[in-house]
Amino acid sequence: MKILTGFSFDPALQCVWKPGGLAVESARLLTSGRPFFSGLRSARFSADVLSSSNFRTSSCPGAERIALDRGRGKDFGAVSLNVSGSVPKEDEHEEEEEVGNPDQLERRLVSGERVLQISKADFTVSSVLDKIRRGRLDLRPSYQRDYVWDKRTASKLIESVLLNIPLPTMFFHERSQGLLEVVDGKQRLTSIWCFMEDQRFPDGSDFALTGLEVLDELNGKKYTDLEESLREVMQDFALNVHTISRHSDDEVVFEVFERLNMGSTQLNEQELRNCVFQGRYNDLLEELVLHPDMLRAFRQEIPHKRMRDREFILRFFAMRRSGIENFYLPVKNWLNNEMRRHQFLEEEDFKVMKFDFQRCIRLSVNVFGDQVFRLPRGLKYDSDPNVCLWDTIMFGFLRYRDDASVLSKKKLLVLALNDLLIYNTEFKSNLVSTPKALKLRTTKWLLVLRELLGPS
C-alpha cells in the first residue's frame, strides 16, 4: 500500500526508504502552519494521513528506520516529525550478507562469556567537529572505505539537518582513552565536516548546496553564505552516537562491526580485523604488503585496497603457527584467533615472523615468476592469485630452509606443480579451503619437494 511517494509499505508494513522522498513529500503535503525556524517555509502534515491506521512505526533491517509520531491523542495542529533515517546511510545499494547465527552474539552476552560495553549519548554537531579538529575523533580510520557520496546526496543530508530531521545513529569505537574513531557514519560526518569547514569536495570543487527541493532557495550557497540563524541550527543539531568501549571483548566487537556493515558497502573480514585487532601484528601486516615480491605476486603497484593481500599474509602466519593439522572452519574464526592471541607478541617474535615471510615470498616469486599462485586455464593463467595455491606453496617453502637447493631446481618445481594442476585430478579437486583438502594437497606438494630436494 503506497501512502507517500517517499515511502512504500508492504503488507507487513515494512518501509522502503527512497532518496529525497521525505523532504519532497513533506513540502507537497504540508500546508501553512508553524515554521521549522525563522526564514524558512512553514509546514504541517495532513492529520488525515498521519492518523491513518496504516501509518505506523516500522523498520527495514539493513536500511534506514522511519518513525512518524501519529500523535496518540495529541493535537494534530502541530504534528512533530520523529524521523530516524531520512538520509542515505553510507550506501544503500549493496545487498546484505548473512553473518553467522543471529542469536550467537546475544547468547554470549547473556551468559557472560563476552563483554560488550556501549554508551549512548547525543552530541551537538559543533562538539563532534571540535573533537575532529583536536584529533580526538578519527574520521578516516585506515579500515574505512573512501568518501563516496556525490554532491547532491551530501546536499540532501545538509538539508535534512537544516530541517531538524534526526539522522540515523552513528557508532564510534573508543580505541584508547579519549581517542575515538568512526565505525558507522563516516559518509554523513564527512559531508557535514566538508560543508561547515569549507573543505573542497573530492573532485576539487567547492561544496555549494545543490539539488535541494524543499529549501531550494539555498541551492548554490556555501556554509558561510547561510544566515547566522541557519548556521546555529547546524551547530546545535543533535547527533545520536553509540560508543563501543575499549574494554569490550575483541571478538564481540568484531561481530558488532559485522552487523553495523550489513546493508551498506560492507567491510570485508580482513578490513574488520584491521579495525578490531590494532597493535604490532596489524602493523606487521601493513608493512609486509609493501614488500616488492608481495606486490609482484599480486601484480600491483600498491597494496590491495580491500586488504585481500593482508589476509593472504595472515593465513601464512596462522599456518606457520598451527601447521596443516590444526586448520579449522570457519576460516574467519581461525584467522581472528590468530590475530587476537598474538597481537601483542614481543618484538623479537615479529622479527622472526617477518624473516620467514620474506624468505618464502621471495622463493615463490623467484621460482614461479609472474604466474605464481595462479591456476592454469588452457594456455593462460588466472589473473588473480589463488588462496589455496598460496597456502600450499608458501607452507612448502617454509619447510625447506636451503634456498640455494630450491632455486637450483626451480624449472623442475614449475613442471611438477603444473603436472599436479593439470593432470592430477585429486590435487585439482582439493583446491578448496577445508581441513581435509588443505592436508591432502599440501601433503602431495611436500612429497614432490622431498623427491626433488630431499628431506626437509
Residue 217 DSSP one-character state: G
The dihedral over CA atoms of 158, 162, 166, 169, expressed in degrees to the nearest 10, equals 30
Last residue of a domain, one of 266, 299, 315: 266
The residue range of the domain holding 154 is: 118-266
Last residue of a domain, one of 234, 266, 298: 266
Residue 200: per-residue pLDDT: 84
C-alpha cell at 331: 576460516
Tens of pLDDT, residue by residue over 165-191, are 999 999 998 988 889 988 888 899 999
* Count of the separate structural domains present in the chain: 2
For residue 27, tell me if it sits in a domain.
Answer: no
Q: Are strands 118-124 and 137-138 parallel, antiparallel or unpaired?
A: unpaired
For residue 24, tell me if it sits in a domain.
Answer: no
Q: Verify that 250 and 299 share a domain, yes or no.
A: no
Last residue of a domain, one of 266, 292, 309: 266
Q: Verify that 360 and 341 share a domain, yes or no.
A: yes
Q: Verify that 285 and 425 share a domain, yes or no.
A: yes
For residue 309, tell me if it sits in a domain.
Answer: yes
For residue 86, tell me if it sits in a domain.
Answer: no
Q: Verify that 383 and 343 share a domain, yes or no.
A: yes
CA distance 218 to 62: 32
Q: Verify that 279 and 255 share a domain, yes or no.
A: no
Q: Verify that 149 and 217 share a domain, yes or no.
A: yes
Nearest to 86 by CA among 33, 163, 171: 163
C-alpha cell at 147: 568518501
CA distance 374 to 385: 5
For residue 400, tell me if it sits in a domain.
Answer: yes
Q: Verify that 161 and 306 share a domain, yes or no.
A: no
Per-residue model confidence as pLDDT tens for the chain (456 residues): 333 333 333 333 333 333 344 433 333 333 333 333 333 333 333 333 333 333 333 333 332 222 223 233 333 232 233 333 333 334 333 333 333 444 555 555 444 556 788 899 999 999 999 999 999 998 876 555 667 789 999 999 999 999 999 999 999 989 888 899 888 888 999 999 999 999 887 778 889 999 998 999 999 999 999 999 999 999 999 999 999 988 888 777 777 777 776 655 567 899 888 877 878 999 999 999 999 999 999 999 999 988 999 999 999 999 999 999 999 999 999 999 999 899 889 999 999 999 999 999 999 999 999 999 999 998 899 999 999 999 999 999 999 989 999 999 999 999 999 999 999 999 999 999 999 999 999 999 999 999 999 988
Q: Verify that 203 and 298 share a domain, yes or no.
A: no
Residue 264: per-residue pLDDT: 52
For residue 395, tell me if it sits in a domain.
Answer: yes
For residue 28, tell me if it sits in a domain.
Answer: no
Tens of pLDDT, residue by residue over 6-36, are 333 333 333 333 334 443 333 333 333 333 3
Query: The whole model's pTM is what?
Result: 0.56
Is residue 169 within 8 Å of residue 160, measured between CB atoms? no
Separation in Å, CA 15 to CA 6, 8, 66:
10, 6, 7
A 10 A CB-CB count for 18 gives 16
For residue 217, tell me if it sits in a domain.
Answer: yes
Residue 274: per-residue pLDDT: 85
